[in-house]
């Protein structure tokens, strides 16, 4: 272990007026309470990297909670302070900031939990318990050395060298709290840093410890990887460290190429990562990024080699949509319209391709407009991102085809107004017309009317739909 050496230098931060005001207030309150206060952690790192950051981490040598409460009492209107007694922290929300106050501490860990036994400690103790050198920098807010940077583990140099490294022996850091392995990879992806060789080796070595981490924490890190500029960096590191197989075997299974009769299929893992990067280039919609990650998730389940034809993955979009739901449950992601959106993207991701073939009927267009609704643009973006051929001619050709699909969809939409379309015959109307209670027949008639319009058998207007409804009802023995 490198011995902590206090390497103090003066740092001039570029602060906004609000930051200056609030730091002055924290300093004054700390003085009043006769304790020392420091800016630490992610806030210092992001300041030095000139990244925007709205959470401010403050460490107090003494009670962080008392400091937070005193600071809050000096602000009008008084902000809410949320106290986490168990963690000895307090969160103060003020203007656009979230300021987290913590008392400097020493931590010791048990084998089966990432929650340490905590006791008060010095600033050095506190910086030692932090995960990476770049997160273990502190800047003094105290009168005697205001603006001094405390760099005990070479964090400044690692910031310059763009390196993620643990302050202590990485085996201890990761075994104590295995979430840090995910955080290392997430920071590498988010900040475009590389992970120091020893630190990375230690992740591979300690990977099994990840099993004590809750799914919520893991998915939080996955989300941050997905939202980084080039998410493939993070997923590739998860793969190479062996963590991916443990936390997300469904994705890991996409890796590899099988050969039959000298014919291989593409590596669906690296294809998927390329698709995610392509989406990330154009969008920061987390759920569309999830859709990109999961769009081919069922390829391993549906893979067949058909003689004379080659590799096929029939139905992978349907099985994939089902698996998507299971994955959302496992990772405790929201089971609401976000999940429905991702399932829908996975289910529909081949449809625009089939529309790019020569002979496409208006009814196929209407169906896609109806099925995709407001998510059509997102779907087209996903499909365009799904083109990962290395052959530039092919890429241009496919993109041009999608361009034509977009144009044709627009024409059909203008003609038929199918996007967000509500069929003219509702279940309510059917029940009223025939004076019947709810029942499965209502659904059958309603669906038949909708299908007839989508197929173009009848026009999209109330009169024709009403006549069709009467006919359909007659078929099942209902009369007016
Ligand atoms: P971000 O806010 O982008 O998630 P961050 O580094 O600010 O990144 P926070 O969770 O806000 O992360 O934590 C603030 C600081 O607390 C970190 O910079 C680090 O010093 C420390 N920290 C957070 N989580 C851990 C952990 N699991 N182990 C050790 N130190 C941690
Ligand atoms: Mg933070």
Residue 479 has a CB neighbour count (10 Å cut-off) of 7
Task: Characterize 356-368 residue by residue with b for buried, 16 or more Cβ atoms within 10 angstroms of its Cβ, and e for exposed.
Answer: beeebebbbbbbb
pLDDT at 110: 81
pLDDT at 3: 47
Whether domain 7-161 has CATH 3.30.460.10: the reply is yes
Give the number of the ligand closest to the Cα of residue 51: 1
pLDDT at 26: 97
**In what helix (H) or strand (E) does residue 269 lie, and over which residues does it extend?**
helix 268-282
Which residues of the chain fall short of a pLDDT of 70? Answer: 1-8, 358, 419
Q: How far is the CA of 161 from the centre of ligand 1 (A)?
A: 20
Q: How far is the CA of 57 from the centre of ligand 2 (A)?
A: 7
Does the C-beta of 209 come closer than 6 Å to ligand 1? Answer: no
Query: Taking Cα atoms as reference points, which of 119, 126, 123 lies closest to residue 141?
Result: 123
- E-strand ranges in 258-393 read 259-260, 263-264, 304-306, 310-312
Burial class (CB in 10 A: 0-12, 13-18, 19+), 436: middle
DSSP state at residue 4: P
Does the C-beta of 126 come closer than 6 Å to ligand 1? Answer: no
Write out the residue limits of the CATH 3.30.460.10 domain(s) in the chain: 7-161
Write out the residue limits of the CATH 1.10.110.30 domain(s) in the chain: 162-247
pLDDT at 37: 97
Residue 174 contacts residue 166 (beta carbons within 8 Å): yes
Give the nearest ligand 1 atom to 46 CA. 7
Please state the pTM of the whole predicted model: 0.90
Does the C-beta of 105 come closer than 6 Å to ligand 1? Answer: no
What the block records as the tokens of 384 is 């365009």
Does the C-beta of 180 come closer than 6 Å to ligand 1? Answer: yes
162-247 CATH pick, 3.90.550.10, 3.40.50.11270, 1.20.1260.10, 1.10.110.30: 1.10.110.30
Give the nearest ligand 1 atom to 190 CA. 3
pLDDT at 6: 59
Beta bridge partners of 100: 57, 91
Give the nearest ligand 1 atom to 183 CA. 27
Does the C-beta of 158 come closer than 6 Å to ligand 1? Answer: no
Tracing tokens 């960096």 back to the chain, one arrives at 233
Does the C-beta of 115 come closer than 6 Å to ligand 1? Answer: no
Residues with CB under 5 A from ligand 2 (ion): 42, 55
């Amino acid at each position: 272990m490198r011995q902590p050496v206090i390497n103090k230098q003066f740092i001039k931060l570029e602060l906004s007026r609000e930051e200056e005001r609030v730091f002055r207030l924290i300093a004054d309150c700390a003085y009043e309470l006769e304790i020392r206060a420091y800016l630490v952690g992610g806030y210092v790192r992001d300041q030095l990297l000139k990244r925007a950051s709205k959470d401010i981490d403050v460490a107090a040598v003494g009670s962080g909670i008392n400091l937070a409460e005193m600071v809050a009492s000096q602000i009008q209107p008084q902000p809410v302070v949320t106290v986490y007694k168990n963690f000895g922290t307090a969160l103060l929300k003020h203007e656009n900031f979230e300021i987290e106050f913590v008392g400097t501490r020493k931590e010791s860990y048990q084998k089966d939990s990432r929650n340490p036994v905590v006791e008060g400690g010095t600033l050095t103790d506190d910086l030692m318990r932090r995960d990476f050198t770049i997160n273990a920098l502190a800047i003094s807010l105290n009168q005697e050395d205001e603006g001094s940077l405390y760099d005990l583990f070479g964090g400044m140099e690692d910031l310059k060298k763009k390196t993620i490294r643990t302050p202590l022996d990485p085996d201890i850091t990761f075994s104590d709290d295995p979430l840090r392995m995910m955080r290392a990879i997430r920071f590498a992806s988010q900040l475009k840093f590389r992970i120091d060789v020893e630190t990375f080796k230690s992740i591979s070595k300690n990977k099994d410890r990840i099993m004590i981490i809750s799914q919520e924490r893991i998915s939080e890190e996955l989300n941050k990887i997905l939202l980084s500029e080039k998410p493939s960096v993070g997923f590739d590191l998860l793969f190479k460290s062996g963590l991916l197989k443990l936390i997300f075997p469904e994705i890991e299974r996409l890796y590899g190429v099988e050969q039959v009769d000298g014919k291989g299929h593409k590596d669906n893992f690296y294809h998927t990562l390329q698709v995610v990067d392509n989406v990330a280039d154009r969008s920061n919609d987390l759920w569309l990024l999830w859709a990109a990650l999961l769009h081919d998730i069922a390829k391993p389940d549906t893979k067949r080699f058909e003689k004379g034809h080659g590799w096929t993955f029939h139905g992978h979009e349907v099985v994939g949509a089902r698996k998507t739901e299971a994955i959302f449950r496992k990772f405790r992601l929201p089971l609401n319209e976000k999940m429905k959106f991702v399932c829908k993207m996975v289910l529909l991701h081949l449809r625009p391709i089939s529309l790019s073939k020569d002979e496409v009927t208006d009814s196929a267009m209407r169906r896609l407009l109806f099925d995709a609704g407001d998510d059509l643009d997102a779907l087209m973006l996903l499909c365009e991102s799904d083109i990962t051929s290395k052959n530039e001619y092919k890429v241009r050709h496919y993109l041009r085809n999608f361009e034509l699909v977009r144009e044709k969809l627009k024409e059909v939409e203008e003609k038929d107004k199918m996007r967000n379309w509500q069929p003219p015959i509702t279940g309510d109307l059917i029940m009223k017309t025939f004076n019947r209670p709810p029942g499965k027949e209502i659904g059958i008639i309603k669906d038949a009317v909708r299908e007839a319009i989508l197929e173009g058998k009848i026009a999209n207007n109330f009169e024709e739909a009403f006549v069709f409804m009467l006919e359909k009802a007659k078929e099942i023995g209902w009369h007016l």
